[in-house]
Amino acid sequence: MQKISDVAHEIMDRDGLSQVNFTNKCGLDTVVISRVCNDKYVAMRTIAKISEAFPEFKQFIKYKKCRICGNDFLPGRRTVTCSKECQSKNNKEIKQRNNNKKRKSTITGTNAERYNWSIKNIKKPETNIVQFMSGKSYGDRQREYLLGIQKTQRMEIR
């Protein structure tokens, strides 16, 4: 099978066309035809446009079948459908498929039950605040720390 660049050069040599004249006949930009002549990537729609002016390029067009209706169409990037109607039908099918695939949660209950979290029973002091501050149960150092009082500045709490 011939390369697309070889066919382009054959046509230009046969008809005596320069690259600029070739682009004018195709109705495309010179950069696009330069990519064709240098055998770089060219989109299918571009090849179809060239084949309107020069039928020799039709052998390079690769059609895709529409996923919904089965018609042949010129593919674009990531295109799987031929029209907007088919595209909307395809999107609906994909959404329906994804909804059916959604993971069904088998875990029941709250996070606390799932992960064995438990609420800690916070033990309240057995004494009231006055007893605590007077040092009966926790000691003088804790009382001084809570009050922010240094040892030299002690005071009685009643």
Q: Which domains does the chain have, with CATH numbers?
A: 4-64 (1.10.260.40), 124-158 (no CATH)
Q: What is the structure's pLDDT at 76?
A: 80
Write the burial class of residue 85 (CB in 10 Å: 0-12 exposed, 13-18 middle, 19+ buried). Answer: exposed
The phi-psi region of residue 30 (left if phi > 0; otherwise alpha if psi is between -120 and 50; otherwise beta) is: alpha
Residues of the chain above pLDDT 90, percent: 35
Average pLDDT value for residue range 3-10: 91
Least confident piece of the model among 22-31, 90-99, 125-134: 125-134
CA distance 79 to 66: 9
Residue 79 Cα distances to 36, 63, 85, 86, 98, angstroms: 22, 11, 13, 11, 19
Q: What is the C-alpha radius of gyration for the chain, rounded to an integer number of angstroms?
A: 41
CA distance 117 to 111: 8
More confident residue, 108 or 64: 64
What count of other Cβ atoms lies within 10 Å of the Cβ of residue 83?
A: 13
Residues of the chain above pLDDT 70, percent: 63
Average pLDDT value for residue range 131-145: 58
User: Please, what is the average pLDDT of the chain?
Assistant: 78
> Which DSSP category does 126 fall into?
S
Q: Is 14 helix (H, G, I), strand (E, B) or coil?
A: helix
Q: Which ranges of 39-118 would DSSP assign to H, the alpha helix? A: 44-53, 84-101, 111-114
Average pLDDT value for residue range 101-115: 60
Average pLDDT value for residue range 118-123: 60
Q: With bands split at pLDDT 50, 70 and 90, how would you rate the model's confidence at 124?
A: low
